[in-house]
Chains A and B, each alone.
Chain A
């Protein structure tokens, strides 16, 4: 029984093609391993460039357990600085967001430019004066920072695959989201809800592209609002679950939307009700606009912590083996004023601690977390749809709308990271 074994976890035994062991969600040693091998090594989503639109803008973010300041310098570059004074490790920034050219540590007054460079240390003769310790004692930066469609990722490892390699097929899904803007730009400027969740972060990551649960967990709100969403995740749906590789997965709803062939159906509306948006899209994209307007937004989980659910963006912040925080906001599309307010309104109804969808997901995560603490039958079953998977024209593994293809992709990548040297 791996749960009682005091040796190093044997990830090959705990993670099998059709089942995973419950201790993966509860064991603090495994959580510590995840910090080292996933959160502080691979690419992790941190924030969006639109959150620091102007030079000097900054916003506090997290990367694993790290408190990170995302800043935009006067040079326009976005940086990720660790919020830790190089002197005695005090926090140099306590505000959640703002605009500042520098950060001053309250403890002994050390001051850093928003690039991280040390520019002041009071009574500096104690260090031999100016021009002595500056090069050695700057704020630490996240070693690698890269963005795609304004989504900023950081890696605490000095080398490794670049962001394009990590994102792989998932990059195209972020591109699809950006293409819904007539200006080709996503903005995450509506503010964030933060939902404290007493569950392991992986339960969320697995659920994001689980097309099996919506009819059950969300049956209450679907029935009350006569929502057509439930039908997208049914046995009859032509939508598919796709393993995008590198732990990423998606529920590809396009087959259903193509079958209907109605522009804006993905948003629950018609072109007549958002005429300004539709005409701007047609002006921007020409003939391609029809396809974009029919196919709508992606539903993609980007390993390990970024989830785009059509008009919402979620970020998973791990806290401990048994706790995490869900961050959520509404997508805003540059040049799509007719949609933006409605996306906020719909998102506020759906997500966050009181959301009519997400509060029920969170209830499931928290009950799951209590369940995985029970010692029998030890395993979580992952076999749904294994017998009917196929390979699509891109060479990716695809299951039906309700199959656990995404989860299996998540775990295959997770295992490769946890077993890597």
Chain B
């Protein structure tokens, strides 16, 4: 995929962020590949995620479960949904391997929900794959800057 335009990758990353910000669960879900991994590590080391607690460690089927829970309208931690806007910056292409590209970016996110505004920030690493000529999301790891601290409820898509 040497012909892949870096701007196309950036556009994909921004689109994924917008779907998450706007709770567009169907569009967000459609970005993922079947071997998806959506991972928000907790404070421990990153070596062996299956042997440690994570804030989120969703394979493709658990992503669907998470979204289906949100879709019920009775996921009370997101009823009503948070009002969200995130800024993605410092996008870097870190590597390519066949049809896969690894990219990373920093983000700052404002979450407004009663009783106040919560700021989230961190670094996202994306594993993107070209499937039938279209970019898809195979992996998303979100390293929160405050993952070593007690975190407030994180029930939206980060």
Which DSSP category, helix, strand, loop or mixed, fits chain A's interface?
helix
Decide: A330 near B53, CB < 8 A? Known: A224-B65, A224-B68, A225-B65: yes
A119 to chain B, nearest CB (A): 30
The answer to whether B2 has its CB under 8 Å from any CB of chain A is: no
Let me know if B77 and A190 touch, CB within 8 A: no
Q: Is the CB of B75 within 8 A of A352?
A: no
- Flag the segment in A67-75, A139-147, A161-169, A213-221 that touches B: A213-221
Interface: B153 (CB within 8 A):
yes
How distant is the Cα of A98 from the Cα of B42 in the complex, in angstroms?
A: 17
In the complex, which residue of chain B has the Cβ closest to the Cβ of A325?
Answer: B150
Q: Are A348 and B74 in contact (CB under 8 A)?
A: no
Q: Which residues of chain B in 15-50 are interfacial with respect to chain A, using CB atoms and an 8 Å cutoff?
A: 40, 42-44, 50
- Contact check, A352 vs B150: say whether CB atoms are below 8 A apart: no
Stretch at the interface among A80-88, A275-283, A286-294, A339-347: A339-347
Q: Are A354 and B53 in contact (CB under 8 A)?
A: no
Task: Name B55's contact: one of A193, A223, A325, A363 (CB within 8 Å).
Answer: A193
Q: Bound complex: CA of A220 vs CA of B53, how far in Å?
A: 23
Q: Report if A220-B69 is in contact (Cβ < 8 Å); known contacts: A352-B42, A353-B152, A359-B77.
A: yes
B50 lies within 8 A of A341 (CB) = yes
Q: How far is the CB of B144 from chain A (nearest CB, A)?
A: 10
Interface residues on A, range: 35 or more
Contact A352 B53 (CB under 8 A): yes
A224-B69, A360-B77, A364-B76 known; A341 vs B53 contact (CB < 8 Å): no
Of all chain B residues, the one with the shortest Cβ separation from A351 is B53
Give bound CA distance, A196 to B150, whole Å. 5
With contacts A220-B75, A224-B69, A353-B55 taken as known, whether A194 is within 8 angstroms of B50 at the C-beta atoms is: no
Q: What's the least CB distance linking A141 to chain B, in Å?
A: 26
Tell me the complex Cα distance, A219–B55, Å: 22
Say whether B151 contacts A348, CB under 8 Å. Answer: no
**Contact pattern, A 314-356, Cβ under 8 Å of B = 1, otherwise 0:** 0000000000010011100000000001001101110011101
Give bound CA distance, A329 to B44, whole Å: 12
A217 with B76, Cβ < 8 A, contacts A344-B51, A353-B153 known: yes
Which residues of B lie under 8 Å from residue A225 when comparing CB positions? Answer: 65
List of B residues within 8 angstroms of A330 by Cβ: 53
Given contacts A223-B72, A363-B76, A370-B115, contact A356 B66 (CB under 8 A): yes
Most-contacted residue by chain B among A341, A354, A360 (CB, 10 A): A354
Find out whether the CB atom of B69 lies under 8 angstroms from the CB atom of A191. Answer: no
The chain A residue sitting closest to B41, CB to CB, is A191
CA distance A345 to B77 in the complex (A): 21
A135 interface residue per 8 A CB criterion:
no
State whether the Cβ of B106 lies closer than 8 Å to any Cβ in chain A: no
Tell me if A113 is interfacial: C-beta within 8 Å of chain B. Answer: no
Give the distance in Å from the alpha carbon of A224 to the alpha carbon of B40 in the complex. 22
- Contacting pair A190 B53 (CB below 8 A): yes
CA–CA, A217 and B115, complex, Å: 20
Q: How far is the CB of A100 from chain B (nearest CB, A)?
A: 18
Add 20 more A-B contacts to A220-B69, A354-B56 (CB < 8 A): A191-B44, A192-B43, A192-B53, A195-B150, A195-B153, A196-B150, A196-B152, A198-B152, A220-B74, A220-B75, A224-B68, A224-B69, A330-B53, A341-B50, A341-B51, A344-B53, A352-B53, A359-B153, A360-B75, A363-B76
A-B contact pairs, 13 of them (CB 8 A): A96-B43, A191-B42, A193-B151, A196-B149, A220-B72, A220-B73, A348-B53, A352-B53, A353-B55, A354-B155, A356-B65, A356-B75, A359-B155
- Residues of A participating in the B interface, judged by any CB pair closer than 8 Å: 96, 190-196, 198, 217, 219-221, 223-225, 325, 328-330, 341, 344-345, 347-349, 352-354, 356, 359-360, 362-364, 366, 370
The 7 A-B residue pairs with the shortest CB-CB distance in the complex, in nearest-first order: A194-B150, A359-B77, A220-B74, A196-B150, A220-B72, A353-B154, A191-B44
